[in-house]
């Protein structure tokens, strides 16, 4: 597993912990890495059978360990997160076909897998940017009451 795949997993685990923060989610957050690893072709039984090979799996608990308090902000539910995920996963699948030994890799073709990968990755980045811009700081409980007492 490369740094790229591990960082994607860490980011998605971080998003789940941010969105659904609770003590239970914090401690179970690393298990979210199992379906993510499966998306990259690594099945859970492989992880359990060869822990030395898949040592990086323990890193999936880092977001939960670091998130000691509920986040101060909240992101709106928008389709941008899902557009980014779909675009990224499609880009990744196309990237896998961009190798010289793949039957779809044709250097003389007008449409190059590598170019499509770049375009879809750019779309994913833009969609995630749009999603992350929806974050707003939550109002603290009791802040309104304190403010009204002072007025």
Contact call for residues 117 and 94 (beta carbons, < 8 A)? yes
Q: Which two tokens stand for residue 127?
A: 């969609």
d(CA 73, CA 34): 27
Residue 18, classified by CB atoms within 10 Å of its CB into exposed (0-12), middle (13-18) or buried (19+), is middle
Task: Flag whether the pTM goes above 0.75.
Answer: no
Q: 148 in a domain, yes or no?
A: no
Q: State whether residue 73 is helix, strand or coil.
A: strand
The number of folded domains in the chain is 2
111-146 pLDDT, tens digit each? 778 888 899 999 999 998 998 888 888 776 544 444
What's the pLDDT score for residue 2? 67
Q: Report which of 8, 9, 15 is spatially closest to residue 135, judged by C-alpha positions.
A: 15
What's the pLDDT score for residue 148? 42
Q: 142 in a domain, yes or no?
A: no
d(CA 92, CA 121): 8
Of the chain, the percentage scoring pLDDT greater than 70 comes to 88
Q: Are residues 40 and 87 in the same domain?
A: no
Q: 93 lies in which domain range?
A: 76-137
Contact call for residues 135 and 78 (beta carbons, < 8 A)? no
What's the pLDDT score for residue 87? 93
User: Average of pLDDT values for 39-62?
Assistant: 88
Question: Of 28-32, 37-41, 101-105, 147-151, which one has max mean pLDDT?
Answer: 28-32
Q: Are residues 67 and 80 in the same domain?
A: no
Q: Are residues 57 and 33 in the same domain?
A: yes
d(CA 124, CA 122): 5
């Amino acid at each position: 597993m490369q740094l790229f795949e591990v960082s994607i997993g860490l980011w998605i685990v971080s998003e789940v912990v941010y969105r659904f923060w609770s003590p239970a989610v914090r401690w179970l957050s690393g298990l979210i890495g199992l379906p993510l690893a499966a998306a990259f072709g690594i099945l859970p039984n492989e992880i359990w059978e060869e822990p030395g090979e898949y040592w990086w799996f323990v890193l999936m608990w880092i977001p939960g360990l670091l998130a000691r308090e509920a986040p101060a902000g909240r992101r709106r539910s928008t389709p941008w997160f899902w557009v980014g995920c779909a675009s990224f996963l499609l880009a990744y699948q196309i990237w896998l076909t961009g190798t010289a030994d793949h039957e779809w890799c044709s250097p003389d073709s007008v449409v190059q897998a590598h170019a499509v990968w770049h375009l879809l990755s750019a779309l994913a980045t833009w969609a995630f940017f749009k999603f992350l811009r929806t974050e707003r700081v939550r109002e603290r409980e009791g802040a309104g009451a304190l403010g009204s007492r002072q007025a």
